[in-house]
């Protein structure tokens, strides 16, 4: 949420780079989480479903953030995307059950 309030160009570049690094670090984590909560028979389908929703998210995100930016301004659009990301992570937290034992093994 710092990007909309940054006024200096170099701070904006730094924050954008940090956002890109964070995004690059989280993608393998998503794939690992999917692999841990699915059985080997479900894994390929689950990863395919994740990628489908991720790709549709690009389309939905572009249309939605463009619409919000046109109506309310760019700062509001960036804040909206941030809040939407937090909201989606809460949904994932509620929907994916914890299936790991205390020693890190997957329960069957």
What is the pTM (predicted TM-score) of this model? 0.56
- Listed by start position, the domains of the chain span 9-95
Three-class SS of residue 4? coil
d(CA 24, CA 18): 10
Q: Evaluate whether 47 touches 31 at the Cβ level (below 8 Å).
A: yes
Q: What's the chain's average pLDDT? A: 84
d(CA 81, CA 67): 12
Q: What is the pLDDT of residues 28-79, one digit of tens each?
A: 888 888 888 888 898 999 899 988 988 898 898 889 999 999 999 988 998 9
β strands within the chain, DSSP E: none
């Amino acid at each position: 949420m710092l990007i909309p309030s940054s006024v200096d160009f170099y701070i904006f570049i730094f924050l954008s780079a940090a956002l890109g690094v964070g995004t690059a670090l989280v993608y393998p984590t998503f794939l690992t989480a999917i692999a841990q909560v699915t059985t080997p028979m479900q894994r390929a389908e689950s990863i395919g479903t994740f990628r489908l929703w991720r790709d549709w998210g690009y389309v939905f995100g572009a249309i939605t953030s463009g619409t919000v930016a046109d109506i309310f301004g760019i700062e509001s659009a960036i804040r909206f995307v941030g809040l939407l990301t937090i909201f989606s992570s809460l949904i994932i937290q509620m929907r994916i059950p914890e299936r790991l034992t205390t020693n890190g093994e997957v329960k069957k």
